[in-house]
Amino acid sequence: MKKNRIPDYIVSYDKLVLVTYVVLLLTGVVIMLDIASIQTSLTYFFRHTAYAASSFIIMIVALYFFNLEKLRSLNLLFILVVIALLLIVLALGPEVNGATRQLRLGPLSIQPSFLARLALVFFLAGFLARKQEQLRITEFQSLVKEFLPPILVTVVIFGLIILERHLSTLIIGGCTLVGMFFYAGMRKRYVFLILALGLILGSLVIMKGEGYRKERLKAFKTYSLFTKNRPAPSNDPGEYQVHESLTALTTGSWLGTGMGYGRAKHYFLPEANTDYVYTIIGEEFGFVGAIIILLLQALLFFRAFRIAEAQTNLYFKYLCAGLAFNIFLNTLVNTGVAISILPPTGNTLPFISYGGTALLTDSLSVGVILNISAKRRSL
């Protein structure tokens, strides 16, 4: 006769991660209301609120109901589903601003490239846990042979993302995977070699790719935070967004113009509710408000790493670290673009920017991190 498994329940988890996540999520709702207040309709605000509520529910489900050890066996299926979705997007997805990234499902749309980053983190975490000893191999060819499956999977997924023209997701995803290899103990010279190869391939994609990428690099060189003696603003449409972002941030000064009194959201700054939402925060809440948001994102990152360090289960350890990398690198790219430390590229600020797929996947990541941090007791 089969013995019934004694169920267990969660008695505690990292509440600081939860509180930080909720504060950022509510900040996003408030900022979307602020931006929508000058528009003729509050549709975007209501949609974002619905996404935020759904994301919170998904986070709770991941925290309380995910058995991560059992779900580990589905990592390959997750990869296959993501590849299928990326192919469907390329075949059927609409072209928006020169890129094909979305899959429309009635009034909703999803971006499988965000799911792809998540799937790769889960897949690589499982592989690193199984191949821990092989990471210390001194011969590069032998190392490549041992890690051929995740390399091939990554090449296929990144190739499809390149065809979608979603370079920012490619960069964040690539850096996340390299960070996971480094954290797991790969020799530093191989980590630097991978980074160098990635830099070369990325440069080729930019130089041989779409013309708008070259225009963005030109705008970055003109208005970069590191550029001295910037020229007067021109009528070049490629430079407009970067210039308006810096103008808004300068206007915000230390304490900001005050909520509702910003200029940029009045259609001066395109993508104010997504790619440049950090600029709106900087303008209306000033340097102090912008730094607080960045510190909250950093707190979430370092707290997640503390959770990872406490794990004896290697799969949980690398999964937690990978999810933390994925979220925080996204933050660094978004804020870096807003203040012109990085070239313009389209990506969201985690938990705050308008958007469905990014918000849902980041919230799922937080739920998994909390799940890993949880202490359980048998009934």
Q: Return the domain boundaries, the chain.
A: 9-378
In the structure, what pLDDT confidence band is assigned to residue 230 with cuts at 50, 70 and 90? low
pLDDT at 174 over 80: yes
6-26 average pLDDT score: 87
User: pTM to 2 decimals?
Assistant: 0.92
Question: Given CA atoms 182, 21, 241, 289 in this order, what sign does their dihedral have?
Answer: negative
333-350 average pLDDT score: 87
DSSP state of 104: E
72-95 average pLDDT score: 90
Q: What is the pLDDT of residues 184-195, one digit of tens each?
A: 988 888 889 888
Place of tokens 């530093």: 188
How many angstroms separate the CA atoms of 97 and 126, rounded? 36
150-171 average pLDDT score: 89
Q: What is the pLDDT at residue 62?
A: 95
Q: Give the three-class secondary structure for 109.
A: strand
320 CB-near residues (< 8 Å, 6+ apart) = 304, 305, 307, 308, 311, 368, 369, 372
φ/ψ of 99, rounded to 5, equals -130, 150
pLDDT at 1 over 50: no
Cβ–Cβ under 8 Å, residues 36 and 340: no
258 CB-near residues (< 8 Å, 6+ apart) = 284
Nearest to 303 by CA among 318, 324, 288: 324
Q: What is the pLDDT of residues 107-158, one digit of tens each?
A: 677 889 999 999 999 999 999 999 888 887 767 788 888 889 999 999 999 9
Query: Which region among 198-202, 298-302, 316-320 has the lowest average model confidence (pLDDT)?
Result: 198-202
330 CB-near residues (< 8 Å, 6+ apart) = 172, 347, 348, 349, 350, 358, 362
pLDDT, averaged across the chain: 86
Q: What is the pLDDT at residue 2?
A: 47
Q: Give the three-class secondary structure for 12.
A: strand
Q: Which residue has the higher pLDDT, 139 or 368?
A: 368
Q: What is the pLDDT of residues 258-294, one digit of tens each?
A: 888 888 887 778 878 888 899 999 999 999 999 999 9
